Amino acid sequence: MTHAFPRVEHGRRDATTFVSRIPREPAPASRESALNAVVWIGDTPGLETLARDRIQAAGFDVAAADTPRDFVHAVVCEISLLETATEAFPALPLVAVCEHEPDSHDYQMALACGARALRTLPAESFELLGDLSTLTTATGEGRILACLSGHGGAGATSLAVALALAASKRGAPATLVDADSHGGGIDTLVQARHVTGARWSDLRGAGGSTDVQVLLEALPVIDGYRLLTFSGSRGESINPQALESLSAAPGTLILDAPLRAGIAPLVNPDAILVALHPSEHALAATARTLESLREIHPRTRIGIALRTHRRREAYRSRDVADELGVPVVLTYRSAREGFVPGLDRDRRGIEAACARFLAKLDDSGFPGGSA
């Protein structure tokens, strides 16, 4: 069931063109063909036969449980193997099936593992086919960029805001999501607390089937991009199902992610930008951050966004890349104190650097080679 939100009157421009997804490297086939498989995980022959029939009827190939994650579109699994499925294929759409009438424990397990639906077969074979059919249009024509700090005070939130602003200025839809519940709040940084629209506190009841366009329409628009942030209410948290729905948004989805933790298993970004203000301590802290990220997102490209002083730096881009083993894909000078992306003029700083970075993504993919 689609969770409906009131339409927001924002009175600002709303871009409509799409930006193609960052190509992965290497890939023997296109992303579309690579994602034309649904994994079945189960031990019951009768359930497997029914599930395979529905998967193929929806237009997908049936893949084995050991298929590489990059070649899998979604997972259908037996209710007893839900935890196994989520560990093997985190952040992918998941539908659980069973032969018996589900009890409260089954529903609690399905909810805890983030399953989109729990279907009883063969009684709900038609409903399972509907769940799978919606996946053919669930992935939007877009890309997902995550911004996080390599160390405390690196400026990842400002970087995320500047990327969203640069994407919207290119005439492409852009969505900025504050995924750091312990951060300072993006709406405070961009002075958007007065703008009406949904916050995380308003999305507590949004389920995994939330239509992405309905969800986008509920969000406030700031300087051409849509913004999802926290309202500041007590106990406010991220809704995993809503974030999963937003991963299908067209254009560019930018996530302001928590320090070191990344955003797995909620969503798998196409690229991660790690903000760094170089110093001996910052390089050591960033090295630990990168080690964590490689474990959490082993197939995601990672690049350094290097913020330098206005005077001559002790660490050059090449030195930082060699030290960390990660390419520096974006370099910009520190802004003056109190600078706010989108509100203050910035011709040669972070906003210009973000515009150049996005242009390189469109022209030749991820700058700086493989991470």
pLDDT band at 216 (very low <50, low <70, confident <90, very high): confident
Min mean pLDDT across 27-36, 143-152, 185-194, 262-271 is at 27-36
Give first-to-last CA distance, the chain, whole Å: 40
Phi/psi-derived region of residue 325, left when phi > 0, alpha when psi is between -120 and 50, beta in every other case: left
Neighbours of 107 (CB within 10 A): 14
The three-state DSSP-derived secondary structure of 250-314 is CEEEEEECCCCCCCCCCCCCCEEEEEECCCHHHHHHHHHHHHHHHHHCCCCEEEEEEEECCCCCC
What type of residue is 264?
Answer: A
| Structure confidence at residue 34 (pLDDT) | 44
| Structure confidence at residue 123 (pLDDT) | 92
What backbone torsions phi and psi does residue 106 show, to the nearest 5 degrees? -60, -45
| Structure confidence at residue 13 (pLDDT) | 34
| Structure confidence at residue 344 (pLDDT) | 59
| Structure confidence at residue 35 (pLDDT) | 54
How far out from the chain centre does Cα 313 lie? 33
How much is the average pLDDT of 97-120?
A: 87
Where are the extended beta strands (E) located within 110-182?
117-120, 142-149, 174-178
| Structure confidence at residue 314 (pLDDT) | 62
| Structure confidence at residue 337 (pLDDT) | 62
pLDDT band at 272 (very low <50, low <70, confident <90, very high): very high
How much is the average pLDDT of 183-189?
A: 78
pLDDT band at 17 (very low <50, low <70, confident <90, very high): very low
The model's pTM is 0.61
Q: What is the pLDDT of residues 62-95, one digit of tens each?
A: 998 888 877 888 899 999 999 999 888 877 888 9
How far out from the chain centre does Cα 329 lie? 19
Does residue 28 have a pLDDT over 50?
A: no
**Which DSSP category does 172 fall into?**
-
SS3 95: strand
Min mean pLDDT across 227-236, 251-260, 329-338 is at 329-338
The pLDDT > 90 percentage for the chain reads 26
- Chain mean pLDDT for the chain: 78
